[in-house]
Amino acid sequence: MPQSVSDSLSNTNEQIEQAAKAINRSVERRRVFEAIYHGKQRIKTANEISNRTGLAQKRVTMAGKYFADRGIVEAIRQDGKTGYKKIDFFHTHKSAILALAGNKQKLEGLPTKRRPRSATVVTVRLDTRRVNTRQITIDDVDSFKKVRKIKPDGFIPRNVSEEQVKLGVQTIIGEMGKFQDWGGEKNDLYTTRIKIGGKRVPTAIAFKGPGKRGPLVPGKMGKNGDQIQRLFESTAQVFILQYGEEIRENVIDQMHQLAVAKSVMTGLPILFGVIDGADSNRLFQAYQSSFPAKRLKRRRRA
């Protein structure tokens, strides 16, 4: 049965809204957020934030953990001290975030996918039978079939770099092309040599290396938090995201939304999925000779 849908490939306002709601009316969280995102210094210790805000260090770490759990900052350890690292997306939009924090009226007026501004919504009529999407796992990929015999056993070693993982995947599937990283790329690897269901399908893959720590959330995806959107701009039917640790559900939700939009626009079946730290380790163990690295100690899940 036909239904009305609004199509958007951007979730910028959703992330701004998320950060503003995290701060809300809390004076302490506002001070900590402002201190972390003040100036050019990318990492600030809890002690430095405490000195800047006048808050006790315990209150700083409580607010910092609150933000880190929501993917708004990165919590790190630096020289044995707790610290917090900026995420470029939130630094870019810090003024908008602070203006909206605690202001219910302004937040309600912020257009999002759930709450689009009526004057700018593009509405189309479509038959839902045209939407053909499916979430897949690494076990569904014929090209990685050896993985099916490997049980999950911790995350991939952190000292296996993003480049080593990419080269390993290229070797496994027999992709001989050279893929250079640059800031505006849509994907890290585009190939037509991936097989699913016995057929070769054009596939775009994004790799997130060990430079990122902790659960992966949309805010950690690229300088502006838009790496997933750029991935789906590729001319492909399969979209895969690889990361060495946990991948949060909101990342998969965003991939699903973009897969639906892609299927509507192209009229093609669209597959999407993630290879998290556990599945990355299974891939590494199953095809270790394909990776340009010696056997490394596995990292247990915390």
Q: Which domains does the chain have, with CATH numbers?
A: 12-108 (1.10.10.10), 131-290 (no CATH)
- In Å, how far are 39, 64, 196, 237, 265 from 130, measured between CA atoms? 49, 45, 21, 15, 10
Q: Round the average pLDDT of the chain to a whole number and report it.
A: 84
CB atoms within 10 A of CB 278: 19
Cα-trace Rg, the chain? 21
Residues 6 or more apart from 302 whose CB is under 8 A from it?
A: none
∠ Cα 178 181 182 (to 5°): 135
* Separation of alpha carbons 46 and 109, rounded Å: 34
Per-residue pLDDT band at 295 (split at 50, 70, 90): very low
- In Å, how far are 2, 159, 289 from 219, measured between CA atoms? 34, 23, 34
* Separation of alpha carbons 277 and 156, rounded Å: 6
Portion of the chain with pLDDT greater than 90, in percent: 55
Tokens, residue 280: 């990355």
Q: What is the pLDDT of residue 236?
A: 95
**Average pLDDT for 82-97:** 90
pLDDT in tens, 166-223: 999 999 999 886 665 545 577 889 999 999 999 999 999 999 877 677 899 888 887 7
Q: Supply the pTM of this predicted model.
A: 0.57
Residues 6 or more apart from 239 whose CB is under 8 A from it?
A: 203, 204, 205, 231, 232, 255, 258, 259, 262, 270, 271, 272, 273
> 26-30, 114-118, 141-145, 290-294: lowest mean pLDDT where?
114-118
Q: What is the pLDDT of residue 136?
A: 96
Residues 6 or more apart from 103 whose CB is under 8 A from it?
A: 20
> 121-130, 220-229, 286-295: lowest mean pLDDT where?
121-130
Q: What is the pLDDT of residue 127?
A: 56
Q: What is the pLDDT of residue 286?
A: 94
> 54-68, 131-145, 207-221: lowest mean pLDDT where?
207-221
Q: In a 10 Å sphere around its CB, with 0-12 CB exposed, 13-18 middle and 19+ buried, how is residue 122 labelled? A: exposed
* Separation of alpha carbons 300 and 157, rounded Å: 9
